[in-house]
Amino acid sequence: MTHDVAGWAARAAELDAADPLAPYRDAFISSDGVVAYLDGNSLGRPLRATRDRLSGFVDGPWGDRLIRAWDEEWMAAPTELGDTVARVCLGAAPGQTVVADSTTVLLYKLVRAAVDAQPARIEIVVDTDNFPTDRFVVEGVAAERGLELSWITPEPHATVTPDQVRAAVSDRTALVLLSHVAYRSGQIADLPAITEIAHDAGALVLWDLCHSVGSVELALDEHRVDLAVGCTYKYLNGGPGAPAFAYLAGRHHDRVRQPIQGWMGAADVFAMAERYQPAAGVRQLISGTPPIVGMLPMRDMLALIDEVGMSAVRRKSVALTAFAVEIADALLAPYDVRLASPRDPSVRGSHVTLDHPDLRQVTAELWERGVIPDFRPPHGLRIGLSPLSTSFAEVAAGLSVVAELLSRPRA
């Protein structure tokens, strides 16, 4: 491996020239002063089309149609857009996905619905390295419902394995909650095998897809997933605070009942009934007024992914992360930077994590230099590569600056 920064830049230029998806980068708004945006796994870049969409919404449906737009399009938006997410990204049939609320709120709804559907079972299985929201939500639900938590501890820089789940589940288990792509390491869990193991024990499985949707191919229906939730501001480019989505397999629609009973999830929204009666199907997961404005930006990214195809998106993701690993081995390993993500691309999502005790300070300096990754304690630098908006040149430029900063004597 060469340590020549110019050589890596030239190699990146060759890869960009040969990349069939390179023209799609022009669809995104560029950022003045940003040398390398390596945090698409936290917040995706906005699309140029979204600027026109937002302006058109003010002048069109909102400004022109006013409240009439609820009857004309907005009431159907949560399930209509949910079906689009399902078709383009989830490998799921219509009628099982809804866009509404935040990831945390939807996690709460689905966790409560799942455990309440199995009152004889008293345990939730979750892992110690899951994202804080996931852990905090199940802790709260367990306290509410008098349930026990069974904690799986993954190996460092890894994710939960099928064998660990097999050892954890029993006839006491109501629900298994796991992330498909680990937010620290980026390792992809064996969703089909784990789902089958949980089902063999009679438990339901809830998958967090926040770091999967829009970057990793999914087949929720094929693999008999029960429930799933995911955010839309990462690889779906929905913008800060964009609403999340929830998937509830059709076979469970009559079995579960979500706990936040709001008027928009009622069978007849405008009946103003004395008692709550849930809507049929996945619409029952809605509670309050849908975030219509928040749904607008992700429509443009979903259209882009639909045009490209998830298989092509995944190929680009694998190529980008493989290039990042190559550069890290060449330029950063000499400074004792350690790869904290899988080397096998088949089990690696769309971000690469690098470990070194100085990387917290380096991250702050990188931001000042226009290189934007993110940091996750205790000392992980995450290189998040959004396939349609990130170039190989950005990867080479950004990691070259990391090497430069590490090469300096530090206090």
**Residue 410, pLDDT score:** 64
User: What does the alpha-carbon distance between residue 342 and residue 353 come to, in Å, rounded to a whole number?
Assistant: 9
Q: Before 46, cis peptide (omega within 30)? A: no
Here the CATH number for the domain that contains residue 181 is: 3.40.640.10
User: What does the alpha-carbon distance between residue 213 and residue 248 come to, in Å, rounded to a whole number?
Assistant: 16
> Has residue 296 been placed in a domain?
yes
Tokens found for residue 359? 């990387």
116-129 tens-digit pLDDT: 999 999 999 999 99
Cβ atoms of residues 223 and 191 within 8 Å:
yes
Answer yes or no: do 239 and 327 share one domain: no
Domain that holds residue 383: 5-48+309-406
**Residue 411, pLDDT score:** 57
Answer yes or no: do 297 and 339 share one domain: no
* pTM for the whole structure: 0.96
Cβ atoms of residues 328 and 337 within 8 Å:
yes
Number of domains observed in the structure of the chain: 2
Answer yes or no: do 175 and 226 share one domain: yes
Burial 327-351 (b: 16+ CB within 10 A, else e): bbebbbbeeebebbbbeebebbbbb
| CA distances for 398 relative to 31, 262, 314, angstroms | 15, 47, 22
> Has residue 325 been placed in a domain?
yes
Of the three residues 305, 328, 348, the one that is the final residue of a domain is 305
Burial 28-47 (b: 16+ CB within 10 A, else e): beeeeebbbbbbbbbbbbbb
Of the three residues 277, 305, 333, the one that is the final residue of a domain is 305
Answer yes or no: do 334 and 281 share one domain: no
Task: Indicate the angle between helix axes 392-406 and 359-368, nearest 10 degrees.
Answer: 120
344-391 tens-digit pLDDT: 999 999 999 999 999 999 999 999 999 999 999 999 999 999 999 999
**Residue 1, pLDDT score:** 38
Catalytic center residues: 131, 208, 233-234, 382
Residues lower than pLDDT 50 in the chain = 1-2
Please give the single-letter amino acid code of residue 199.
H
